[in-house]
Structure 1
């Protein structure tokens, strides 16, 4: 099992997006203490109502991850999640390929369909087209990354005999798809390298417009189903499963360590490959203390 540190997000209106610490220093500490990746989310135009009810601001994930790449050597650079329908897929492909090239092949592209109607409206994207636009992105990304001529006619664009460089180092850049719906799981089985089930309970599932994930036994069944569907589709590569561990107590890694270790071991046993952890702190010293404590409590013993 491998671990990702999700850079803490700034809630509501107040605070600075770097309150959790300078990104280059945090990324270096994430790597130093044994994590395998760093991730950032995306909300380019969050609604005031959502922010007032507990929503959060974000940095642009690609710019932030490029900054983190320059301060590290081996960390995976993960969008968790970027909303594919927000961007023309040519621009999404170019941005991801550029980051992969500059980082030496360390990008993982976590994608979601999005759920905030107000943000879609602010960006001029039709909310009701989000699934069509998402599937178009899945079509275009590997063709763009191939470096070979291709043509594609989408809902709002027509690309004729285009050739895009740079080719990313990875062929393809791994795509992880988020969401709990049967449609999301089918997309993973057929077209992606990883599944990000959304944990966090019924309230978050309602907000994010995705079914509740259910208990660990249900997650185990769905993981097996996704991998069986991938095998039935003729795919031979391993499908990663990425799980956000949301237990409030993990913000104090040395407290109840045996309980958390047992919970993480259970997730590994049912097939989870990556665990996403966040300190949820928005203060530099607390972030650094958390990374050191989590590394020594869980990551050092795993190695």
Structure 2
């Protein structure tokens, strides 16, 4: 089982980012603690209303992960997740290739179609087109990363005999797709290297506009279906599956450690390959203490 640390997000409208500590220090501490990966989310234009009701701010994931890359040596750099339709696919491909190149091949590109209407409006993107735009992205990314000339006619762009360098170190950069819908799962089986499902109560799934997965047992069946569909499509590689493990008592990693180990073992048995955890963003000291305690209790 691999563990990914999600840098704590800042909720509300009054606070700024980095309450959990300097990004390079937190990332280096996560690496020392044995974490496999480090992830950041994306909200370029969250509404004040959403923030006031519990929403969170974020850093630009590509800029911030480039900074993390310079402070670490082996930590995988995850976008968890970036909203594909917010960007022209060439700009998205260039940002991803740049981080991968500068980090020596450590990027994992987590992508989603997006769900927040106010951000689509703010960015001038038609939310009704998000699935078409997302499929265009999946087409363009490998073409762009190949470093060879290609042409592509998109819904809102026309690329004619373009060639993009540098090539990323990883060919291709692993793409992990978020979302629970049948369409998302089909895309994962056919075109991605990982799945980022959302497991929780129906109101959570409704808020982010995706199908509900309410239990670990339900997730297990879907994981098997996705991997069987990938095999039927002629794939022999293993599709990674990410699970966000949230438990309030985990704020003190050594408390109820045996219960957490049992829960993590059940999650792994379900077919999950990567666990995402976070910590309270109260102080930088608390963040570093959490990372050290979690690593010594569950990783080392």
Partner of 1:206: 206
Alignment of 1:77 with 2:41, yes or no, is: no
Structure 1 contact 8–282 (Cα < 8 Å) conserved:
no
Structure 2 contact 200–214 (Cα < 8 Å) conserved:
no
Alignment of 1:45 with 2:18, yes or no, is: no
Partner of 2:12: 12
Partner of 2:257: 257
Partner of 2:231: 231
Matched residue SS, 1:172 = coil
Alignment of 1:29 with 2:29, yes or no, is: yes
Structure 1 contact 10–282 (Cα < 8 Å) conserved:
no
Cα deviation, residue 200, structure 1 = 3.6
CA distance in 2, matches of 1:111, 1:119: 16
1:248-268 residue CA offsets vs partner (Å, 9 max, x unmatched): 221211111111100100111
Structure 1 contact 27–72 (Cα < 8 Å) conserved:
yes
CA distance in 1, matches of 2:238, 2:280: 31
Partner of 1:90: 90
1:17-36 residue CA offsets vs partner (Å, 9 max, x unmatched): 01100000000000001100
Structure 1 contact 254–293 (Cα < 8 Å) conserved:
yes
Structure 1 contact 200–246 (Cα < 8 Å) conserved:
no
Cα deviation, residue 168, structure 1 = 0.2
Structure 1 contact 9–280 (Cα < 8 Å) conserved:
no
Structure 1: unaligned runs, 5 residues or longer: none
Partner of 1:58: 58
Partner of 2:215: 215
Cα deviation, residue 214, structure 1 = 1.9
1:54-107 residue CA offsets vs partner (Å, 9 max, x unmatched): 000000001110111000000000000000000000000000001100000000
Partner of 1:150: 150
Structure 2 contact 8–280 (Cα < 8 Å) conserved:
yes
Matched residue SS, 2:14 = coil
| Matches for 1:259-274 after TM superposition, within 5 Å | 259-274=259-274
Partner of 1:278: 278
Matched residue SS, 2:17 = coil
Cα deviation, residue 15, structure 1 = 1.6
CA distance in 1, matches of 2:45, 2:280: 22
CA distance in 2, matches of 1:227, 1:256: 33
Matched residue SS, 1:57 = coil
Partner of 2:141: 141
Cα deviation, residue 279, structure 1 = 0.4
CA distance in 1, matches of 2:2, 2:251: 18
CA distance in 2, matches of 1:134, 1:249: 37
Q: What TM-score results when the alignment is normalised by the length of structure 1?
A: 0.98
Matched residue SS, 1:19 = coil
Partner of 2:165: 165
CA distance in 2, matches of 1:246, 1:130: 29
Partner of 2:299: 299
Cα deviation, residue 48, structure 1 = 1.0
**Worse overlay, 202-211 or 266-275:** 202-211
CA distance in 2, matches of 1:214, 1:50: 24
CA distance in 1, matches of 2:120, 2:9: 20
